[in-house]
Structure 1
């Protein structure tokens, strides 16, 4: 990892908020940024003024229930996460590419095991069929 990457990672961690310290506005801003939307973009999609988004992110005002539901859907997070920080939200900067690679590795191993099990199930079925045919031939 080079120095620039370390500095960027440190900056991201400093700007990130802990779940217990985050406010609704913090979570809204983080989800909006993770979605690649500016305040103006989000405001336009919601049909409100940019100033409204600014107030929400500053925790100066709170959106009504119908807007909350729309926000959660547009930003790809759960309503509960927006309100409390619990539930499906965005991943923090601590989530690394290494972790993602590990998950992909485990999923690949699961797929391999599933394929092997499927092949063994087919083999077991063929052996069972041979056994039944052999037993039927002796009975006749």
Structure 2
């Protein structure tokens, strides 16, 4: 019998993928939503959660921030994990979510800017060819 829920996600009972999946679910995100926010494919998130692969350091840092857990907890099960969230942390979690959404929008805007530039170039070429 487990004494509490944190034991289940501790270093002796769970893997990186188990802790990641639990933290993602606690953050009320789907694999697809997390993938979009991190800028990776959904299959990448699935492979991390199934312990078939692990994220690189830069993604790990972003992942921990988005899931509101420490990097150490994700890797080892030690340190501030899912139980670190309290009413005082609600603002922090909301800010993390907002930051993730802002990053996602910035990425989308950068991609759109590139497409606009290509279209503009194509229109100019066509106009020059017709002139």
Q: TM-score, normalised by structure 2?
A: 0.56
Match of 2:30 in 1: 38
Moved over 6 A (4+): none
Equivalent residues in 2 for 1:46-125 (5 A)?
Answer: 46-91=38-83
Secondary structure of the equivalent of 1:62? coil
CA distance in structure 2 between the aligned counterparts of 1:84 and 1:24, rounded to whole angstroms: 7
Q: TM-score, normalised by structure 1?
A: 0.53
CA distance in structure 2 between the aligned counterparts of 1:28 and 1:18, rounded to whole angstroms: 10
Max radius of gyration: which structure?
A: 1
- Long gaps (5+) in structure 1: 1-12, 92-99, 101-140
- Long gaps (5+) in structure 2: 87-131
Question: What value does the CA root-mean-square deviation take over the aligned residues?
Answer: 2.0
Query: Would the alpha carbon gap of residues 41 and 70 (structure 1) be closer, same or farther in structure 2, given more than 3 Å must change?
Result: same
CA distance in structure 2 between the aligned counterparts of 1:80 and 1:18, rounded to whole angstroms: 13
